[in-house]
Chain A
Amino acid sequence: MDLTPISGIRKGSFISTGASLTLDLLYIPDWFVWRNITQMSSVANPGVVKKAEWFSGMADASALIVKNTAGLATDESSIILTGGFTQFDQSVPQTFAFQALAAVASVTQANPAVVTSAAAHGLTTGDIVRLTNIANMAQINGIDFSVTVTGATTFTIPLNATGFAAAGAGGFLQKQFPPGLFQPKRRIITSITQANPGVVTTSTEHGYSSLDIERLYIPSGFGMTQANLLQVQITVLTSTTFSIGVDTTAFTAFAFPTSASVPFTFAQSVPVGENTLSLADPMRNTGIRGLILGSSVAGSLGDVIQWVAFKGTV
């Protein structure tokens, strides 16, 4: 991420997937203009948004829009307060328009644990959610998890909860949007196998590369203290797992502290370097600034969208 430009004009286009998306603009624009080229002449899709604008000072998730009127060859102008444009700057989290808290119905004692939301969650596989206020599973509250969607109200998280005392109930999930900043990042560990070599599972996609070097921080409450402060060269197995090149079969079993043990510090893997001839995974800033395009201005599947973002005196 660079210094915020004082002035600038950026333009671009994309083909809509029908889902909300994030535009990296380098800056938060003062004026954003959006056109749905595919739908511009349409009279067949009542309510479809053809044109939209957003000015700095407007509320997050709002937009000035022009949409088709009831399938007639006339258009209607209006202001929407939801599903519009939302500004964000990853280095200033206070400016994020947070995703609403969604109620959780249950979290199973399974491997992987299955989270059931009280209503349709609207997530897609790969999204990151934070769980809070889960009763009976307080030990996972405050942790971010990558999700694998299995249904409209269900998804799994990379957590082996078979050893937990009770199923989780109640609480909230909150989609973390968007993840980023400096990579590779410190990750929270949810399990380490007793195997040769040991395999580490992280709560979110780790983003590491094979041959990266990590240091493991395993607080005593997690059992496998022999792994604490180990510096390991990893081999990536999946997006949330990697092997550490160390025989852990004789180590004490890794186990999450009980719900009654809260508060405590989570087990972590911290990137400390890499052992390669060329830097394949150096520290890099992936933070972005721009706009989130909500559901009303995301377009329909296959629509061609063009946009222009202005910043500064025009």
Chain B
Amino acid sequence: MNETVIRLGVSLRQTEDELTRDMLNSTASFINCVGGANGDNPTELTRSDVDTAIRTLVNANAYTISDMIEGEDRFGTAPVRDAFFSMMSSQVISDLEQVSGFIAKAQYPAQMNVLRSEWGSVSNLRFLTSSIGATIPGGSALGATVFPIFCAGMESYAAVEQDGYSAQFIYRPQIYSGPLALNASAGVKFAAGYNVMNDAWILALRCTLS
């Protein structure tokens, strides 16, 4: 039962993430990467595209989510600016590491408030990665997979949990299920609404791979 609960918990939280991802993929405005050289539309991710995304959010008066991480006297580290957060497919990692100014999280002066899913930062944008990040198969001009990188400012979107339905674990022992008491059931349920709170404070930076 303990193992079941653990797996159900992971399933529930992953489903929440997928729903949030799908909502953003359906509704957030997008900017195509144009600074790359792969000949596609959008191109691969480049520094100029990251700068465009940051500039767009700043011009819309979006607040950054994380505070800066001050530089320290540690070999190989670099200060990290206060930053918007972005969420992307882990398939974009190799291109991200080629972006000018990329700082791997191992090079952050301090590891406090660094998420396990974080891969690094560029300028005022920190990147979170996931194997279930958004993709649009065949979505580019040349038919390649497009990867939307959701760049978010503070309070740009929300998941509103419904009263009494934030998350419920349900277990019915064998005695309740079936006339011969042979079957037990276990599951989780939740109800939530997902929505962009301010469309100007979030965008999808769309790229292909190099």
Contact = CB atoms under 8 A, between A and B. Distances in A.
Interface of A: 1-7, 90-94, 96, 98, 101, 130, 132-133, 138, 141-142, 172, 174, 181-186, 215, 217, 229, 262-266, 268, 270-272, 282-283, 285, 287
B68 interface: no
B139 A130 contact: yes
Contacts, number: 117
A215 B199 contact: yes
Interface in B136-162: 136-143, 146
Contact of A93 (B40, B136, B143): B136
B91 to A, nearest CB: 11
Interface string B49-76: 0000000000000000000000000000
Contacts of A93: 135-137
18 contacts: A1-B19, A3-B187, A5-B187, A91-B19, A93-B135, A96-B137, A132-B143, A141-B41, A142-B139, A172-B143, A181-B22, A182-B27, A182-B194, A183-B26, A265-B34, A272-B196, A283-B27, A283-B193
A265 B27 contact: no
A262 B188 contact: no
Interface residues of B, number: 45
B161 to A, nearest CB: 15
A221 B196 CA distance: 27
A3 B141 contact: no
A285 B27 CA distance: 11
Name the residue among A98, A101, A141 with the largest chain B CB count within 10 angstroms.
A141
B23 A182 contact: yes
Nearest to A262: B41
Given A265-B30, A270-B199, A182 B22 contact: yes
B117 to A, nearest CB: 19
Contacts of A94: 135, 137
A3 B15 contact: yes
Given A90-B22, A93-B136, A285-B19, 16 more contacts: A3-B190, A4-B11, A5-B187, A91-B22, A141-B41, A141-B141, A142-B141, A142-B146, A174-B138, A181-B23, A182-B26, A184-B27, A186-B26, A264-B34, A268-B29, A283-B194
A103 B41 CA distance: 20
A267 B186 CA distance: 47
Interface in B148-197: 185-190, 193-196
B110 interface: no
Contacts of B15: 3-4
A263 B33 contact: yes
Nearest to B191: A2
A218 to B, nearest CB: 11
Nearest to A266: B32
* Contact residues of A: prevailing secondary structure: loop
Name the residue among B34, B188, B199 with the largest chain A CB count within 10 angstroms.
B199
Contacts of A271: 27
B18 interface: yes
A271 B41 CA distance: 24
Contacts of A4: 11, 15
B28 interface: yes
A182 B193 CA distance: 11
Contacts of A172: 143
Contacts of A263: 32-34, 40-43, 141
Contacts of A1: 19
Contacts of B23: 181-182, 283, 285
A93 B135 CA distance: 8
B130 interface: no
Interface string B107-150: 00000000000000000000000001001111111110010000
A58 to B, nearest CB: 22
Contacts of B104: none
Contacts of B33: 263
Name the residue among A3, A141, A184 with the largest chain B CB count within 10 angstroms.
A3
A183 B25 CA distance: 11
Contact of B142 (A133, A272, A285): A133
B151 to A, nearest CB: 14
B12 interface: yes
B29 A186 contact: yes
A145 to B, nearest CB: 13
B25 A181 contact: yes
Contact of B26 (A3, A185, A266): A185
A138 B140 CA distance: 11
Nearest to B21: A91
Nearest to B34: A263
A91 B18 contact: yes
A3 B18 CA distance: 10
Contacts of B138: 98, 130, 132, 174
